[in-house]
Amino acid sequence: MPLAPFTSLNIGGPARFFTVAGNLDQLRQALLFARRQGVRFCVLGGGSNLLVSDDGFDGLVIRLQLQGIQVSGHRIEVQAGVDLTALVRRTAQLGLSGMESLAGIPGLVGGAIRGNAGAYGGCIGEVTETVFALQADSLELLALDRGECAFDYRNSRFKRDPSLVVVSALLTLAPGDCEEIRRKVEGTIAKREARQLQCDLSVGSFFMNPVVTDPELICRFEADQGVRCRENRIPAGWLIDQAKLRSIRVGAAMVSQKHANYLINTGNANAQEMTRLARLVKMEVRAALGVQLQEEVSCLGFNPEPDRGQPS
Ligand SMILES: Cc1cc2nc3c(=O)[nH]c(=O)nc-3n(C[C@H](O)[C@H](O)[C@H](O)COP(=O)(O)OP(=O)(O)OC[C@H]3O[C@@H](n4cnc5c(N)ncnc54)[C@H](O)[C@@H]3O)c2cc1C
């Protein structure tokens, strides 16, 4: 099964095995199948943060389609296969506040929990009370409270430990005014659409915003942008821009003209071009500014994983 159509980059070769899991039992069966075949597995959500190698993945891809939302007062139990923006819109209808800033982030709830997706100062970890995750080896369903999930900037326990598959999450929101929440949600979506980034083939921000220790660089950023940098993190896009890399290309892979942290597929780019472009960006930013960028995107089917190997 070719994986490119399942990713927002539209890049990547085939999976050796591919299946869809619509409930917990099917997910357990799929994990058992991978174990019996002696292959690795990978869970696929919306594919909006995934770069698949041109050779594909020599294992089992499990497309999660666990659907379902249960509301109890101001708490929502949501399954991993629910579309994140559909969930945010639903919270507005229910008059529940806390997820407005996440509106318009592509992908599904499971992927969002794993990467602690966030935007405009908010992230999903902040409203998450408990995550239910299936441990792939024991097939045991774990209930992990927020502390145990170890949410951090674009990170969580689920990203650090790929044997945990997020199945559902219990979110705690605050009661609010439906119309006001709806206005905020639609405002966030409109702000995103105005940037015209959603229509390009990308994974959103390709690199994480790095922690910078150089006080001069921090001053330069703050003077240039007129904002204070938070937790010493400087936007990767600003750094890439400073290194004058906007619009550079490797084949059909390009640093976006509109947002320097978006590496886009301009048509028929392959994974090799994408990874060569990413390597070039990292090298140039390091040479120009002394900062090491790290991929935010998840990579599948590379050997070694481009974001796990030595800084390239
Ligand atoms: C145009 C655009 C804009 C974006 N803007 C933002 C933004 O503002 N903020 C932001 O944080 N992100 C943003 N992203 C990135 C992306 O939308 C998020 O990272 C999203 O949460 C990924 O979810 P997904 O379901 O698509 O995950 P996928 O891409 O399917 O998977 C990503 C990784 O998570 C793993 N995974 C998926 N589901 C599960 C699960 N249930 N359990 C365990 N592991 C799982 C996969 O194996 C893979 O390693 C943007 C992407 C695009 C294309």
Nearest ligand 1 atom, CA 197: 1
Report d(CA 60, CA 163) in Å as an integer. Answer: 14
What three-state secondary structure class fits 130?
A: strand
- Does the C-beta of 51 come closer than 6 Å to ligand 1? no
CA distance 173 to 92: 11
pTM of the model: 0.95
Is any atom of ligand 1 closer than 6 Å to the C-beta of 136?
no
Atom 50 of ligand 1, residue of closest alpha carbon: 204
Q: What is the phi/psi pair of residue 240, to 5°?
A: -65, -40
Q: How much is the pLDDT for 303?
A: 80
> What φ, ψ does residue 151 adopt, rounded to 5°?
-70, 140
Q: What is the pLDDT along the chain (312 residues), one digit of tens a residue?
A: 899 999 999 999 999 999 999 999 999 999 999 999 999 999 999 999 999 999 999 999 999 999 999 999 999 999 999 999 999 999 999 999 999 999 999 999 999 999 999 999 999 999 999 999 999 999 999 999 999 999 999 999 999 999 999 999 999 999 999 999 999 999 999 999 998 888 899 999 999 999 999 999 999 999 999 999 888 999 999 999 999 999 999 999 999 999 999 999 999 999 999 999 999 999 999 999 999 999 999 999 998 665 443 332
- Answer for the pair 18, 1: CB distance below 8 angstroms, yes or no: yes
Nearest-CA residue for atom 53 of ligand 1: 203
Ligand 1 pocket, residue 202 CB under 6 Å = yes
Q: Which ranges constitute the DSSP H helices of 116-177?
A: 146-149, 157-160
21 lines ligand 1 (CB under 6 A): no
Please identify every residue annotated as catalytic: 154, 205, 296
Rounded CA-CA distance 123/125 in Å is 6
CA of 219 to the centre of ligand 1 (A): 32
- DSSP code string of 25-54: HHHHHHHHHHHHHT--EEEESS-TTEEE-T
Among the listed residues 238, 235, 312, the one whose alpha carbon sits nearest the alpha carbon of residue 276: 312
If one counts every other C-beta atom within 10 angstroms of the C-beta of residue 70, the result is 11
CA atoms within 13 A of residue 16's CA, in its CB half-sphere = 14
For 230, residues 6+ apart whose C-beta sits below 8 A from its C-beta are: none
Is 117 touching ligand 1 by the criterion CB < 6 Å? yes
What are the residues facing 14 on neighbouring strands?
Answer: 2
110 lines ligand 1 (CB under 6 A): yes
Ligand 1 mutation target, pool 105, 157, 196, 305, most atoms within 8 A of CB: 105
* Residues pairing with 70 in the sheet: 77
How far, in Å, CA of 49 to CA of 301, rounded? 14
